[in-house]
């Protein structure tokens, strides 16, 4: 069971990818796709239904081993260990790319966007999400207040999950533009309500139970870990209700926990 889908922030990212893939795949055919930073592979079986061939890659070899076992029955899926800052694929390889909350881990986010622009075919699309620097104060009041006085941060709240930095939406738009990527869609993912409901405790839960809690390139074996499957818990209906209410109240607010972008490589 993929219990991560019960967390509104995670579920919101998943729905952004799934709903846009469903819409876009009705409009055009995607022959070859890349999931850049697949992690434990819990999106891959869903993504693979919308393309002819899916390559899923991650820098963490243990995560790739788990993802390969999880999705061994998906026929059009290949796994590879890759560095998002130095991908081995030739120019103009993919007509679809997905990257879910990866750019905040790579150390050189603009370099990753350069690689995205390089390996996409002209006219190709990328669906990218990331945790926003402009997060609601209800998500992490401690780090928000600290930011007014110091550059130091505590590794919880917005800076949990191995986040050494967050991404400014304006920086992302600038990086995209400089690398030939036009922004087609931008969406807030999780406003003040969801931020309040997930304040601090989700980061603590991940630190305790997630196998690769810091989303690192390497990890030590831990005694107590949980790994996801591809099954959705029935209680996601409650999570979806919270997400809809949050969107009604805060979809036009400046601040959100995360951002979802669709960009297209210029022909």
What pTM was computed for the model? 0.91
Mean pLDDT, consecutive 10-residue segments, the chain of 267 residues? Answer: 92 98 97 98 97 98 97 98 98 99 98 99 99 98 97 94 95 99 98 97 71 54 60 93 98 96 97
pLDDT at 12: 98
Q: How far apart are CA 16 and CA 98, in angstroms?
A: 11
Q: Which CATH class is domain 3-265?
A: alpha beta
pLDDT at 89: 99
pLDDT at 203: 77
pLDDT at 213: 45
Give me the residue spans of the domains in the chain: 3-265
Asked if 47 and 21 count as a contact pair (C-beta separation under 8 A), the reply is: yes
Q: How far apart are CA 173 and CA 35, in angstroms?
A: 21
pLDDT at 224: 45
Asked if 43 and 28 count as a contact pair (C-beta separation under 8 A), the reply is: no
pLDDT at 3: 87
């Amino acid at each position: 069971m993929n219990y991560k889908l019960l967390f509104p922030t995670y579920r919101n990212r998943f729905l952004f990818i799934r709903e846009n893939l469903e819409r876009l795949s009705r409009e055009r055919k995607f022959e070859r796709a890349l999931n850049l930073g697949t992690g434990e592979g819990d999106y891959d079986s869903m993504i693979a239904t919308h393309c002819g061939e899916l390559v899923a890659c991650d820098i963490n070899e243990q995560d790739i081993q788990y993802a390969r076992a999880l999705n061994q029955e998906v026929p059009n899926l290949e796994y590879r260990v890759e560095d998002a800052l130095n991908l081995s694929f030739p120019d103009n390889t993919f007509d679809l790319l997905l990257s879910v909350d990866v750019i905040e881990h790579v150390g050189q986010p603009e370099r990753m966007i350069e690689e995205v622009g390089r390996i996409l075919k002209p006219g190709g699309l990328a669906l990218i999400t990331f945790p926003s620097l402009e997060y609601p104060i209800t998500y992490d009041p401690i780090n928000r207040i600290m930011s007014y006085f110091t550059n130091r941060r505590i590794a919880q709240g917005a800076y949990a999950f191995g986040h050494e930095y967050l991404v400014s939406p304006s920086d992302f738009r600038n990086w995209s533009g400089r690398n030939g990527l036009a922004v087609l869609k931008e969406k807030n993912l999780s406003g003040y309500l969801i931020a309040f409901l997930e304040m601090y405790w989700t980061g603590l839960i991940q630190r305790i139970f997630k196998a690769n809690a810091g989303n690192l390139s390497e990890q030590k074996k831990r005694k107590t870990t949980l790994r996801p499957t591809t099954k959705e818990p029935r209680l996601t209906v409650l999570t979806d209700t919270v997400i809809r209410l949050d969107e009604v109240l805060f979809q036009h607010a400046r601040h959100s926990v995360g951002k979802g972008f669709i960009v297209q490589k210029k022909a």
